Amino acid sequence: MEYDIIVLDEKYTECTICGTTTPLEYFIPMYEGTQVDITKTKEWAGMPVCRKCYNKNISDLKSPTSE
Backbone angles phi, psi at 54, to 5 degrees: -60, -50
User: Would you state the pLDDT for residue 67?
Assistant: 41
What is the mean pLDDT of the segment spanning 4-32? 92
Q: What is this structure's pTM?
A: 0.70
Q: Which long-range contacts (CB under 8 A, 24 or more apart) does 7-13 make?
A: 13/48
The span from the CA of 17 to the CA of 67, in Å, is 29
Q: Does 7 score more than 50 pLDDT? A: yes
